[in-house]
Chain A
Amino acid sequence: MGSQGFSQIVEQHQLGMEAAETRIQALSEYLAVYRASQASPSGRRFYGRIRELRHDIWRLKAWSWYLSARQARPAWLAPLLVLARLLAGLVPAAPVRQRSALSARTALRLSTRSLLDRAYQALDEDIQGRLLTLRLAQRQRPATSRDEEIARLESRAALLAEAQRHDLRHSSQVAVICTVLAAVLRLRHWFGLPLPVIKTVDRT
């Protein structure tokens, strides 16, 4: 694989992190509004929904951490990948909506595949929206060239689609990685240990 291929993979990881972080922010905002909008929060449904949203946020944080680790290459990465390959066979590849025993009558749990798919789609929508705005401006005021910016966004959209396809192809391994790392993150959170610093995404 040439240097261009490597830089593309790095960029795909960056886009994956951006997708996860954007979705984490959106879910956190939704969680805050959802909690605030319940005048008298009670009932299994309300708490079930809160629990599922938090679970989704932890899994997305785990995915972002993993993608960040792909660049930093810490010592635990190789054993984690081996574990993911070994356990992948136990995870169904097709998007299955799981019901945990606790949430059987409350909220549906999204599979990791669906969760990441939505994160990628949300970022794709954002890129498409920006492209649309630029193209419209380009048509209305052709004197000002926006070709460079349009090309950059088109390239991002193509890389994002490739990253999404890649993760979907390995969705079982992705599910294992997210489950393991989310459990680690939660444990660190409960024990008051600092959470790993995830290399922030450059959104410029």
Chain B
Amino acid sequence: MMATDLFTPSLDSLPRVFSLADLKQQMPARPEQAMELVLRWLESGVVRQVAPPRPVFIRTSIGEVQDDELRCQALLRAFPSLVMVGGSVLWRQGISNQRDAWLECCVAEQERDCNLTDVRLHWRPPAWWEAIRRAGGIAGEHCGVAMLSGEMAVADATVFTDVWMPDREQIDWQRLSTARLSQASEELRKLR
């Protein structure tokens, strides 16, 4: 069992989202003990592994609700290819009035187990990112996470059918360009 001393970093000294490498940097003299320390924190429930087996952790406290910023920050550390899709995009861009219950995102990584609450990760092939680029399908970002454009989000949901979308009448179709929607659908259909 590892003994704590003055040189053991406290959990409060770490950012809310951190990796094993961050912790090792705080313990330059004994980096091998970083894993033991994290294991102890995980067992006591004060941190959670964001997406096992990736060594990225989030500090937790009782009754705390994870806001968008924290979830996005944690997801980005674990999945660098993260892109927000589906109804999550439409609501955050004000194209739909219906709020998402889950944060819907796409990743290129095959292993996508995630311990965060209210997050759904979907896999997309590498060619998907190329198709998005060709169609100019990214429209800004939310808390650092790239977001699809409204048209691309609709096209993606139609082609892949695995993401949540609001009811049709809840979408402000006036804000979506038919030409761009058609181009986006054409690009994505090639992937099916």
Contacts and interface: CB of A to CB of B under 8 A. Distances in A.
Contact of A37 (B39, B126, B141): B141
Given A39-B136, A129-B20, A135-B39, A33 B129 contact: yes
A131 B35 contact: yes
A30 B43 CA distance: 33
B80 A36 contact: no
A115 to B, nearest CB: 17
Given A36-B138, A132-B49, A132-B55, A29 B38 contact: no
B133 A36 contact: yes
B25 to A, nearest CB: 12
B14 interface: no
Interface residues of A, number: 24
Given A33-B80, A36-B138, A125 B38 contact: no
Interface in B44-61: 49, 52-55
A140 B49 CA distance: 15
Given A125-B55, A129-B53, A133-B52, A33 B39 contact: no
Nearest to B108: A29
A126 B53 contact: yes
Contact of B55 (A32, A36, A38, A129): A129
Contacts of A35: 129, 133
A69 to B, nearest CB: 27
19 contacts: A29-B81, A30-B80, A30-B81, A33-B81, A33-B129, A35-B129, A35-B133, A36-B133, A36-B146, A37-B141, A125-B54, A128-B20, A129-B55, A130-B53, A131-B35, A132-B39, A132-B53, A133-B53, A136-B49
Given A29-B80, A30-B81, A129-B55, 16 more contacts: A29-B126, A30-B80, A32-B81, A33-B81, A36-B132, A36-B133, A36-B137, A36-B138, A39-B139, A125-B20, A129-B20, A132-B42, A135-B35, A136-B39, A136-B49, A139-B43
Interface of B: 19-21, 35, 38-39, 42-43, 49, 52-55, 80-81, 83, 108-109, 126, 129-130, 132-133, 136-141, 146
